Structure 1
Amino acid sequence: MPRESYQERLEELREDVLYMSEVVLERFRVGLDALEQKDEELAWEVIEGDDEINQMYLELEQDCVDLLALQQPVAGDLRFIAASFKIITDLERVADLATNLGEYTLTADRDMFPEVDIQGIADHTLEMIEDAMAGYRDEDTDACYQIAERDDEIDERCEDASEAVVRDLIEREVGDGADETEIEQLMNDVSRLLLTIRDLERVGDHAVNIAARTLYMVENDDELIY
């Protein structure tokens, strides 16, 4: 393969990874909208769209394998391909978390715990993914460190939100004659919300993973990899 064509394939890989991130983030936003609006049509859109993301992942995985096998890259090119492969894995897992939101929507029928700012936490985590991908695109190592620092805030907000849900559940008065169905629905609502908070925290973790791989790609520095 001529050198020019090889470099073009590397750049195409970068563009394709960035495109995958855009699709994944849009699916996650739709999943959040579905959950907030209790919209089953949107929920199914996210759930059924997961196959498309999986196919995109497999195609990019094959591109990485072909570049490694056919070109035997070294130094910076090798790190770029390896980092890209790890990043698409994180993006595919974020897409799986979006599918979770769709599935939660199918069992949600009422709003609970309005004091828990799910949308605010979600906006922050999705912004972290966007910024991590911008760091990958621009090879911006400063952005990588900033992503890692911001994850501490996400962890704290998620912990506070989970504690608020549990505290509210403990303090909620349920009479001895409470309907069994109502109690079961309450517990389902609590479980759904705690799972949503957990998934948002994981999105933040994937943003850190992306930043860590970018830092390794650019500077051969594994400081953020854990």
Structure 2
Amino acid sequence: MNTPHQHIIKSYDDELKRLTGEIVKMGELAVAQLEAAIDVVQRRDERAAQRVVDNDEAIDALEQEISQDVVRLLALRAPIAGDLRNVFAALRIAADIERIGDYAANVAKRSIPLSRVAPIAVVGGLANLAELAIEELRDVLKAYHEQDAEAAYEVWKADARLDEEYTLVFRALLTYMMEDPRNITPCTHLLFMAKNIERIGDHATNIAENVWFVVNGEPLVAPRVKKDTTANPEF
């Protein structure tokens, strides 16, 4: 784990720590949003789903605060080297988390019409997919907070497992749709939900790449293994 250096001006360290804390807080809100979204899917609770959708505004507001803090740091502190990487990474990570919040809200939004049709068994596969995404998010937030490049790299590699699970869910949903046309509407909603969750994993890997860059001062250039085969023509 990387140990951050101390600056001569303590208030500068405090500002950087506060920026990191805001990012982590924003990430924790996004994790909670995804957990709540999957919960309302399973409970078929329309009112709770709408609350999840509405709560996305809190994540948006935090991103705005972080953007303002970054501008202030750039203007007043003129950071260089590792500090500059950290400040710009915070901006990029905040944008990734904001998108994660949007995807979680989309899952909750789709659960509203889904709750108005007969229950479908493959919802369980969606919950498994979400668990993998939640694990990725928690691990990458910890890696960011601790400036741990190796832990971030493990998250980056682990996204292949989420891709594989997404492919399984995708196949199961197509099978249900082919077996009974009445399943087409609910399975279509579930397909969009599954894709939203798969995209959350992609944003977690973006955050991991930023952590690697902040700590090591160079981009993560290893070829990324993608296990999502749903776009294959022979699928």
TM normalised by structure 1 equals 0.89
Query: What is the aligned counterpart of 1:160 among 151, 158, 168?
Result: 168
Aligned residue for 1:17?
A: 23
AA of the residue aligned to 2:13: Q
Following TM superposition, by how much is the alpha carbon of 1:171 offset from its aligned partner in structure 2, in angstroms? Answer: 2.8
AA of the residue aligned to 2:152: C
Following TM superposition, by how much is the alpha carbon of 1:99 offset from its aligned partner in structure 2, in angstroms? Answer: 1.0
- Structure 1, unmatched stretches of 5+, are 175-182
**Aligned ranges 1:1-226 → 2 under 5 Å:** 3-108=9-114, 109=116, 110-114=118-122, 117-172=125-180, 183=182, 186-223=183-220
Which moves more between the two structures, 110-119 or 17-26? 110-119
Distance 1:56 1:13 in 2: 11
| 2:22–2:62 contact (8 Å) kept in structure 1 | no
Aligned length: 214
| 1:24–1:91 contact (8 Å) kept in structure 2 | yes
Which moves more between the two structures, 42-51 or 86-95? 42-51
Following TM superposition, by how much is the alpha carbon of 1:50 offset from its aligned partner in structure 2, in angstroms? Answer: 1.5
1:49 is paired with a residue whose SS is helix
AA of the residue aligned to 2:192: L
2:113 is paired with a residue whose SS is coil
Following TM superposition, by how much is the alpha carbon of 1:129 offset from its aligned partner in structure 2, in angstroms? Answer: 0.6
RMSD between aligned alpha carbons?
1.7
- Residue 167 and residue 116 in structure 1: after superposition, are their counterparts in 2 closer, same or farther (change >3 A)? farther
Instruction: Give per-residue Cα distances to partners, 1:40-65, cap 9 Å, x unaligned.
Output: 12111111112221111101111011
- Structure 2, unmatched stretches of 5+, are 1-7, 225-235
Give runs of ≥4 in structure 1 deviating > 4 Å: none
AA of the residue aligned to 1:55: A
Following TM superposition, by how much is the alpha carbon of 1:139 offset from its aligned partner in structure 2, in angstroms? Answer: 1.0
- Residue 48 and residue 18 in structure 1: after superposition, are their counterparts in 2 closer, same or farther (change >3 A)? same
Distance 2:221 2:146 in 1: 18
Higher Cα Rg, which structure: 1
TM normalised by structure 2 equals 0.86
Following TM superposition, by how much is the alpha carbon of 1:116 offset from its aligned partner in structure 2, in angstroms? Answer: 5.2
Following TM superposition, by how much is the alpha carbon of 1:114 offset from its aligned partner in structure 2, in angstroms? Answer: 3.0
Following TM superposition, by how much is the alpha carbon of 1:223 offset from its aligned partner in structure 2, in angstroms? Answer: 1.5
| 1:83–1:214 contact (8 Å) kept in structure 2 | yes
